[in-house]
Every structure is written in C-alpha cells, then in structure tokens.
Amino acid sequence: MKESIRVLQECAEVQTKKGSDYQNEHSRIRQVDYYPNGVATLLDIMHAKMLRMQSVVAAMQSDPSYEANFESIEDSAKDLINYATFVVEYTRGKMDGQKPDHDFLNRPMKPALSPFAQNIKKGVEESALKSVAAEKLHKDFGL
C-alpha cells in the first residue's frame, strides 16, 4: 500500500478519536458549532496550523538541535488534512449540525423566488423604472 494512503487512514483514525472527544453523546455541542463562520473559520484554523509548521521548520533550520515541544510537523500535517476534509464536508452541507438554509460561510441564504414571484418582482421593477423615467422627462422637459 502506498504510504500516502496509510497517512490518510491514520488521519481518519485521528479524526474519529478526536471527534468522540469534541462531540460526545453527552454534549449539546455539534461539530458545526466550532466553525461559526463556516469555511472561513476552518481556513483560519488551517492558516494557524501552517504558521505553526513554518515556525517549527524555521527554528529547526536555524538550530539543528531544536525539537518541537508540543506537536510534531507530522501531527500538524495530519491535522491540516483533517481540516481540509472538514472544508469539503462543509461545502457539501454535510457537517453535523449544519443548517440547510445557510451557505458555506454559515450565512442565512435568501430563499429562491418562485417563477410567479419572479414575474411579480420583474413587473414591479419595470413599473418603478417607468415611473422614474416619466418623472425625469417631466422634470427635464416639462412633459
């Protein structure tokens, strides 16, 4: 088996284990609650992970004896992989607790207008334009 596939399997295991800590059956917290701005929050978290990795690498480059104190580059990379899967999950509208009437940034979506309502709106807009045009003609040309 290719090593990258093994890594993905390890990521899935980590995600399952951490998931049971973060969203256990005795908690009212859903996965989506961790990401109040949807994908934007996830990207912020991923950015922070990347910064941490860059910081550790910079420290290792300048001091060959440096060892990361809390989590390794590999652990951070696995976290990034898992957060990337959360981005995809969120964009698909499949994250636990996600509201179907909110978009990928967790903003309420405007309901789509029915064809009937679209026609009414179009008629109102056309009437308003005609009104403005008539008013302008009256004001500019006394018509």
Q: In DSSP terms, which residues pair with 102 in a beta bridge?
A: 108
Length of the chain counted residue by residue: 143
Q: What is the pLDDT of residue 10?
A: 96
How far apart (Å, rounded) are the C-alpha atoms in residues 23 and 84?
19
Q: What is the pLDDT of residue 32?
A: 96
Q: E-strand spans in the chain?
A: none
What are the boundaries of each domain within the chain? 3-110, 112-143
Q: What is the mean pLDDT of residues 3-29?
A: 89
**DSSP state, 70?**
S
How far apart (Å, rounded) are the C-alpha atoms in residues 61 and 72?
15
Task: Give one DSSP letter per residue of 81-120, joined into a string.
Answer: HHHHHHHHHHHTT-STT--TTB-TTSPBPPPPPPHHHHHH
Q: Which amino acid is at 99?
A: K
Q: CB–CB of 97/33 below 8 Å?
A: yes
Q: What is the pLDDT of residue 27?
A: 85
How far apart (Å, rounded) are the C-alpha atoms in residues 49 and 66?
19
Q: Which tens digit of pLDDT belongs to each residue from 41-76?
A: 999 999 999 999 999 889 888 998 887 766 788 999
How far apart (Å, rounded) are the C-alpha atoms in residues 112 and 100?
14
